[in-house]
């Protein structure tokens, strides 16, 4: 007798809580990875247990699969070659340049020794981190200008362009001097600048002595 096709597995209504089959704890649905093939739409083990299982597999059960003394592990195949290439790619030792980013609120002037595409990508990463509350590389004027544009902020980043390039022998001090020169040039033209240091917007504050 031919097996009848009963159709797809009927999924349950998404639940706010699930019980992990490994640790037996009931946790929020957000603590489980998605799995469309299961009726609950969630994996049977919670994220914490999945992480523990992964660590156990990599370091206890089959460490040779990932790392091996003869360099044949999964992550060692051309690993060093790839890592060296990546580090060289992002290293800020390329041809130095001064650049600008235009926004409806004003222009930002910057300088870099990294590849143009790397510096541009770093601006994107820094702003997205700022939006999430991380301010380690916060650029007040530029990021607040992006805030005003809402979802269209990426369009302003796309205006980023190189104003001038310089020899690789340029020192960092010389490069910063060139950057300040462009800032003063735009200031004299009455253009609104988003930079803080080096402009009329820069207010030096003294820390009171104890």
**Rounded mean pLDDT, 164-180:** 95
Question: For residue 111, is pLDDT > 90?
Answer: yes
| Beta carbons of 110 and 179 less than 8 angstroms apart | yes
The chain-wide mean pLDDT, for the chain, equals: 82
pLDDT at position 62: 65
Q: Is the pTM of this model over 0.85?
A: no
C-alpha–C-alpha distance, residues 78 and 104, integer Å: 46
pLDDT-derived band at 203, boundaries 50, 70, 90? very low
Q: How far is CA 198 from the centre of its chain?
A: 27
What per-residue string of b and e applies to 108-131 under the rule 16 or more CB within 10 Å gives b? bbbbbbbbbeebbeebeebbeebe
pLDDT at position 75: 60
pLDDT at position 66: 60
pLDDT at position 200: 59
């Amino acid at each position: 007798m031919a097996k009848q096709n009963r159709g797809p597995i009927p999924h349950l209504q998404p639940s706010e809580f699930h019980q992990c089959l490994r640790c037996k704890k009931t946790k929020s649905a957000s603590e489980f990875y998605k799995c469309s093939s299961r009726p609950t739409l969630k994996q049977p083990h919670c994220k914490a247990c999945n992480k523990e299982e992964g660590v156990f597999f990599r370091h206890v059960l089959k460490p040779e699969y990932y790392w091996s003394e003869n360099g044949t592990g999964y992550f060692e195949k051309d690993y060093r070659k790839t890592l060296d290439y990546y580090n060289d790619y992002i290293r800020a030792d390329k041809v130095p340049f001064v650049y600008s980013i235009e926004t409806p609120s004003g222009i930002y002037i910057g300088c870099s020794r990294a590849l143009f595409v790397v510096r541009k990508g770093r601006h994107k990463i820094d702003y997205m981190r700022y939006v999430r509350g991380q301010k380690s590389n916060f650029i007040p004027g530029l990021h607040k200008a992006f805030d005003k544009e809402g979802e269209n902020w990426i369009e302003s980043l796309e205006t980023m362009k190189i104003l001038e390039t310089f020899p690789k022998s340029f020192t960092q001090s010389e490069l910063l001097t060139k950057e300040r020169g462009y800032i003063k040039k735009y200031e004299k033209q009455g253009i609104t600048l988003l930079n803080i240091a080096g402009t009329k917007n820069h207010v030096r504050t003294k820390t009171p002595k104890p």
